[in-house]
Amino acid sequence: MPTSTELRELLLSPEDAAAIDSTGGSTDAAVLIPLFLDGGDLHAVYTKRRDDLSKHAGEISFPGGRPDFPEEDLMTTALRESEEEIGLPREEVDVVGALPPVGTFVTGYKIHPYVGVIKAGHEWTPQPTEVEEVLELSLRAVKDGFEMKRLLKKGVPIKTPTYTVDGTFIWGATGRITQALLDYLQPVL
């Protein structure tokens, strides 16, 4: 059962992560990866986006988005978006680190992932126009559902890490962020 201190030692500091250049993406965005312990297993909180959205419809993602204004700190963006999208109060998140930024090829974002520890048992409030469902997935189950796949996206084949957990399919930028998370947290999984 990893502590916040142990997680901090395994992850990058937000400053070190921000200094890493990502492949692809020029528009900054930020996501929060909320983690909690349940039954001795580390769980991550994902969202399933609504099927009727114009971008990334029905996809699995972490709560997040773009800054509201140019000077907004990206960690603040991740915390604010998590509060707006799933009802996670920012004061209940202990940000323990970050992961390298991930670029999106189709939409041109440079996503900055922040990792936060929360308590188990949250009552989620999905933002109804954007989030269809909030998913709490055991990282052990996510890791077990790994498969490198070649997917066809807009006629272009892409090779991407994918994770399948009980019919939930994680791929693309979220799959690459998940892969980095699992790599960094390997010693405690």
pLDDT at position 105 = 73
What are 32-80's pLDDT values in tens digits?
999 999 988 999 999 998 877 666 667 899 999 999 998 999 999 999 9
Q: What percent of the chain has pLDDT over 70?
A: 95
Range with the lowest mean pLDDT among 19-23, 31-35, 108-112, 120-124? Answer: 19-23
Check pLDDT > 90 for residue 29: yes
Contact (Cβ atoms closer than 8 angstroms) between residue 162 and residue 147: yes
- C-alpha separations of 17 from 32, 90, 99, 163 in Å: 14, 21, 6, 24
| Domains observed in the chain | 4-188 (3.90.79.10)
pLDDT at position 40 = 87
